Structure 1
Amino acid sequence: MLFLEWSSISRENGPSSLYELTVEERSQRGTCLANLLLTDIEDKDNLRLTFSISSLPGDFRKKWIVGEFVYISSSDRVSICNGTIVANDTKLVVEALTPISRYLTTNKHYHLDTIETMRHFQMNVMSIVRLMECNESSNCLRSIIVREHYPTSQRISPSQLKVILPFINSLSEPQRDAVIHSIKNTGYSLIKGMPGAGKTTVIAALVRSLVALGKSVLIACYTNSAVDNCLEKLNGHIRDDLILRIGTDSRAQEWSKKYCLKEKIKDIQSNDEKIASIRKIYSSSKIVAGTCISIQEHQIFKVHEKFDVCIVDEASLCLECTVIMSLLNCKSFVLVGDENQLTPLVKNKEAGERGMNISLFERLSMTKKGLHVINTQFRMNKVLCRVPSELFYEGEMRCATTHIENSVIKCNDWNPHIDSGDLGLSEKVCEKILSKRLEDSLIFIDMNNYICGEKVDVSLLNDSRSSNLAEATTAIGCLKLLLRFGVNPGDIGVITPFRNQMNTIRGLINDELVSLDKNNGKLNNVEVSTIDQFQGRDKKVIVFSTVYNYTGDNETCELLNSSRRMNVALTRAKNKLIIIGCAGSLRKLEIPSKVIGLINNIIPLK
């Protein structure tokens, strides 16, 4: 399966894609920044290329981060040179590794591409090889993964309970039970946290409890942002010298760099002292945190004793082979996730059908052994909670407090006398969007094959290139209305299943920025993203563009008809969820049809 997956990835975004795909196709896939103006070339010790970022959306930095390896091409020459991004704040600066400056000229436009390398594939293969070795760690993990050896439970002594009480007293009862359950179990534990359940809070309480009990902890996450989220919960509660963040420093948030090795040894001059200090830091750190990828090849495991516990956050997103190396370096492990949300990303259809997209968390959860479920959530009000609870959690998801149950949007009241003719929304739609009534927290704006909207290209329904200009325009109208009536732009998010629709909405936002309306300038601070990129995050207000607009009988849409992706989409909003779509078209799809059947507020656009 691993080789099947690699063949698909390398074919789609390997080095050959620079030659086989157009700039437009690579841009649509999100792997290319096209037509960037080269403003400066600095050729001293290293060739540094400075590009203007004025044409890029504000959130481009989420993918194009410092440390990212890129290829630089022009319209007539592929891969002039390659290098790494060293700055991306007010300008994009690339330090070239192959200084072929004769093909680079200032005030000309160039393209920056990222491609998949063999590195991750090789590390995943090596993890499987390590799992097959004949030693205590590999034998123990194989007994769990292959032979389904179940965890056993031990009793917590009164003295241990006294030690951990300060760290769990402030938690909800299901959260407290999850921490205690994880400490009691030997072998492994599973924590299933429903959307908004406070999984990171539970992880932090568990880490603090384990360290207080004299245990060492390895924290492995799917993303760097999740690593920082875990460390943020520990910041100020555990001494800095006991925490080490491993991986590329440039991928850490500025405040968390104090946990990185480079920062810890920056004042040491002598190489011998540095080596001694590194060894001491590696061997004495009680908490080590990093991504599953960075952990796979790190040198710390040649020095540090085996960790007592490994905690894997976002475990339901991790490929099984990617998480193996982390688990081999610990005596027991805790997997934290939710198999009802997104699964590991697998591009090869055959590999997915054979089970590669089933995470270790999901496989072990099927047995129900060692599993603890946190069903109280701290995010959505009760109207927003009801739909995903009934559809995906058998009605088990609950609001944690009365305050959360009844929280509604905070904005100025709708005033029909204020000119809103430029929004493209009816007065009733405007009133519902700004309504502070709890029952209006979830609304569906029905495009109903709106005459100005184009039909979606059927051939694109099952990939990320589909877009719908009418829905994008309506989404912009909703954003302008919310901003005009006092909603903070940082509290609003726009999500869609399709990358091309995301780019269409971002393009319309850029068009609006040239307007003289001061509120339109705030649009640039509204986050626009795909559903997949938004997992684990939330906003007070979410605008969800479904895109699907097809009246045929035999077409489906895998992206929208995925219960897990729909679950993520429906559980990002705290106070208000505005869904935009064609109700007639969506009723032809199984999952969207069930969603529409549970929505009380379906309002025609006009």
Structure 2
Amino acid sequence: MAVGLVSRLFVTGLLAALACPCCVDGLARARGRAGRGRSAAKPSGDRAARVWETQAWRSAVYDALREYDSRWQSLLLSEWRSEQDLLREQLREWPERRLEREGWLLKDLEDRAPASQAAEGAIEGVVSQRTATALHIVVRQLPALLEPAAGRRQAATAHPFCLARGASAAATKADAGELLQRLNPSQLSVVRAALARRCTLVQGPAGSGKTRTACFLLAAAVRMRQQRDGGAGGVLAAAASNVAADELLEGLLAAGVCAVRVGQPASVRESLRSATLDAALERSAPVAAARDRLRAAQRSRQAGGGSGGGVSEAFQAVRRAEAAASLRLLKAAEATEPTSLVPLLFGAQQLVLVGDSQQLPPTVTDIAASREGLGTSLFERLQESGVQPLLLDTQYRMHPSLAEFSSRRFYGGLLRSAVRPEERPPPAGLRWPDAGFPVAFVAVRGPEQRSAAEPGGADAPRSPEDEGGTSYSNAAEAEVVARLVRALLDAGDPRPCDLGVITPYNAQALLLQRSLCEEEVEVKSVDGFQGREKELIVFSAVRSNAKRQLGFVADHRRLNVALTRARRGLVIVGDEATLAADPTWRELLSFYRRRRCVVGSADELLPRCE
């Protein structure tokens, strides 16, 4: 069967499985009708019956896809409008210096047109690429007033991803079997299973080597294709953030895979920019030749010896050459379900999703769209539909004591630690209640304050309680956190760069940043710290009220992320009475009390004065 047909059937089946129940029932009824039509056909084959069977099945599939499309279209539009409102608020409220720092404001730009031609009128086009110093604009037809160098059309893309095209010359000697010997047993079993399945979910808890496993899986897939098909066909790796895409690219290059990174060059780590699509296009002979012809046509027209049609034809030739050089590259998508399906539409025959449903879901700005399901990832939806994930069961990040509760509560006790306690000694700046269990919960009873959140902070959490632009802070907790951080830094262990302060709310993060403005420590929201790690983490839980309301602090996924960022030590500052209103928090506090690491004040942790 043709590859394209196989891909279409695979994607159609996946979409049908994700459609609403009524659509799935419709597909089943159509298949039943088609089966009855087939049984009524003549032994020699009734072409009309076969045509009817095909049309009935196709009609049911189209009905399911239309239903799926109508479900998400309104939600995506609502999310887009919410993002636009947030952007307008940021542009209105943020000072000019911050807009420049965030890369949203470019000042003192000059066009490349000669002064004598600048009066021909405004140029209308689409911004295809933005760097720190320039805007690249695509126009329908190249204006005569532009200099030749400005006519280059840059590759435009909104989604970062990597594409593995084949093994590099230095690595072709190693086959897939030799490559997989570098993995631990659970990683090896996951890679082998994923290579043999059509659809695979890989659940990777914090520190279990998700990126490493994904890179070795991609490298093995590329080498298997090379050995089997002579390198035909590409392997696409899509990521939801630039940081994750860079990590994938770095891992693939280290594994000897020739990978191409697509995305805005300014957002790619500088050491990896030679492996970007833009760099590959610059090295492409057909693209270079087409651009040379374009520049020649422009010079001829400016000299009066050429026509506008010649320039337009040359410009189209550049576009065709760039497209031809990019045919093997597929656009990736973000982590929400509708956009996650985009890579599957370009020849997908196998699908592997690597993630963790026990950590935070995709960030959705519009609260209503999130409630309706836009905040549910494709990973979660497939898991809910009955696809069982394969677990990476060994973590390499944390002191075993730090991973103990998460393993028991979120992963059924299956998560093991490859790290020995002596490899993660507790930081020396505090008097830990148990030196063999580097965790401390500091009980603080200080009232929370509800305040207006800074417009569109990069790490601002989005939840139903944040509607109207409000957030929460807790001055008493901020004071305790500042005392603990200063004591740790004064002791010299950990270093400022190895200490992180996290909190669920953006308002508390801003308060902590002001309190620790003289200390060079990183302060972020829990959402903004997912995927990161530090030697020691201080976590401020914020919520403290008579009604014992926790809001989204009760989300077990956010708690799991907060508990699994530290390598050597974790300090939690919070109101025990309020937090215990949630079953997961209550279980955590009970676990800590059994280990005798709950203290009544920060003084019990601070070093004694001699």
Tell me whether 1:581 sits opposite 2:577 in the alignment. Answer: no
Residue by residue over 1:208-254, the C-alpha shift from the partner in whole angstroms, topping out at 9 and shown as x without a partner, is: 21121115211100101001111111224326xx3211111111000
One-letter code aligned to 2:476:
A
Distance in 2, Cα, partners of 1:326 & 1:35: 32
Distance in 2, Cα, partners of 1:409 & 1:549: 32
Residue by residue over 1:35-87, the C-alpha shift from the partner in whole angstroms, topping out at 9 and shown as x without a partner, is: 99xx997464489xxxxxxxxxxxxxxxxxxxxxxxxxxxxxxxxxx999744
2:199 pairs with one of 188, 208, 222: 188
Distance in 2, Cα, partners of 1:43 & 1:205: 44
1:273 pairs with one of 281, 289, 296: 289
**Partner of 2:465 in structure 1?**
462
Distance in 2, Cα, partners of 1:572 & 1:299: 46
**Partner of 1:472 in structure 2?**
478
**Partner of 1:535 in structure 2?**
530
One-letter code aligned to 1:591:
T
1:172 pairs with one of 158, 170, 184: 184
Higher strand residue share: 1
Tell me whether 1:379 sits opposite 2:400 in the alignment. Answer: no
Shift of residue 257 of structure 1?
0.3
Distance in 2, Cα, partners of 1:437 & 1:550: 32
Residue 311 to residue 475, structure 1, CA distance change in 2 (3 Å): farther
1:223-302 alignment, distance < 5 Å? 223-238=241-256, 242-266=258-282, 272-273=288-289
**Partner of 2:431 in structure 1?**
431
Shift of residue 551 of structure 1?
1.7
One-letter code aligned to 2:477:
E
Shift of residue 588 of structure 1?
2.1
**Partner of 2:406 in structure 1?**
388
Distance in 1, Cα, partners of 2:388 & 2:76: 33
Distance in 1, Cα, partners of 2:213 & 2:87: 42
2:556 pairs with one of 563, 568, 583: 563
1:152-163 alignment, distance < 5 Å? 163=175
Distance in 1, Cα, partners of 2:577 & 2:290: 66
One-letter code aligned to 1:14:
Q
Distance in 1, Cα, partners of 2:451 & 2:289: 64
Shift of residue 271 of structure 1?
5.6
One-letter code aligned to 2:536:
V
**Partner of 2:442 in structure 1?**
445
Paired residues of 1:531 and 1:568 also in contact (CA < 8 A): yes
Residue 336 to residue 311, structure 1, CA distance change in 2 (3 Å): farther
Distance in 2, Cα, partners of 1:7 & 1:331: 30
**Partner of 1:53 in structure 2?**
none
* Percent identity (aligned): 25
Residue by residue over 1:468-487, the C-alpha shift from the partner in whole angstroms, topping out at 9 and shown as x without a partner, is: 12212222222212211121
SS in 2 for 1:226: helix
**Partner of 1:365 in structure 2?**
383
Shift of residue 589 of structure 1?
2.8
For these two proteins, the number of residue pairs brought into alignment is: 434
Tell me whether 1:604 sits opposite 2:600 in the alignment. Answer: yes
SS in 2 for 1:560: helix
Distance in 1, Cα, partners of 2:435 & 2:331: 41
Distance in 2, Cα, partners of 1:19 & 1:541: 35
Shift of residue 10 of structure 1?
5.1
Distance in 2, Cα, partners of 1:16 & 1:163: 50
**Partner of 1:292 in structure 2?**
none
Residue by residue over 1:527-586, the C-alpha shift from the partner in whole angstroms, topping out at 9 and shown as x without a partner, is: 211111111121111111111111225xx3332010111111111111101101111221
One-letter code aligned to 1:546:
A
Shift of residue 302 of structure 1?
6.9
Residue 458 to residue 261, structure 1, CA distance change in 2 (3 Å): closer
Instruction: Give the structure with higher Rg (CA).
Output: 2
Residue 268 to residue 235, structure 1, CA distance change in 2 (3 Å): closer
Instruction: Select between 359-368 and 596-605 the one with higher mean Cα deviation.
Output: 359-368
Shift of residue 382 of structure 1?
1.7
Distance in 1, Cα, partners of 2:130 & 2:543: 37
One-letter code aligned to 2:483:
G
Paired residues of 2:221 and 2:235 also in contact (CA < 8 A): yes
One-letter code aligned to 1:531:
V
Distance in 1, Cα, partners of 2:220 & 2:439: 39
Tell me whether 1:497 sits opposite 2:504 in the alignment. Answer: yes
One-letter code aligned to 1:254:
E
One-letter code aligned to 2:248:
C
Distance in 2, Cα, partners of 1:394 & 1:454: 35
Aligned CA-pair RMSD: 4.1
Residue 358 to residue 12, structure 1, CA distance change in 2 (3 Å): closer
Residue by residue over 1:354-411, the C-alpha shift from the partner in whole angstroms, topping out at 9 and shown as x without a partner, is: 333222211222355463211211111221111112221122211124x2x5543464
Residue 383 to residue 299, structure 1, CA distance change in 2 (3 Å): farther
Paired residues of 1:378 and 1:399 also in contact (CA < 8 A): yes
Shift of residue 191 of structure 1?
1.0
Paired residues of 2:176 and 2:223 also in contact (CA < 8 A): yes
Higher helix residue share: 2
Paired residues of 1:191 and 1:337 also in contact (CA < 8 A): yes
**Partner of 1:207 in structure 2?**
218
SS in 2 for 1:438: coil
Distance in 2, Cα, partners of 1:20 & 1:184: 48
Mark the runs of 5 or more structure 2 residues left unpaired by the alignment.
Answer: 1-70, 114-126, 138-156, 160-173, 293-319, 454-463, 604-610
Paired residues of 1:408 and 1:437 also in contact (CA < 8 A): no
Tell me whether 1:549 sits opposite 2:544 in the alignment. Answer: yes
SS in 2 for 1:179: helix
One-letter code aligned to 2:431:
E
Residue 33 to residue 550, structure 1, CA distance change in 2 (3 Å): farther
Shift of residue 603 of structure 1?
0.8
One-letter code aligned to 2:336:
L
**Partner of 2:360 in structure 1?**
342
Distance in 1, Cα, partners of 2:534 & 2:90: 39
SS in 1 for 2:414: coil
Residue 302 to residue 442, structure 1, CA distance change in 2 (3 Å): farther
Paired residues of 2:200 and 2:351 also in contact (CA < 8 A): yes
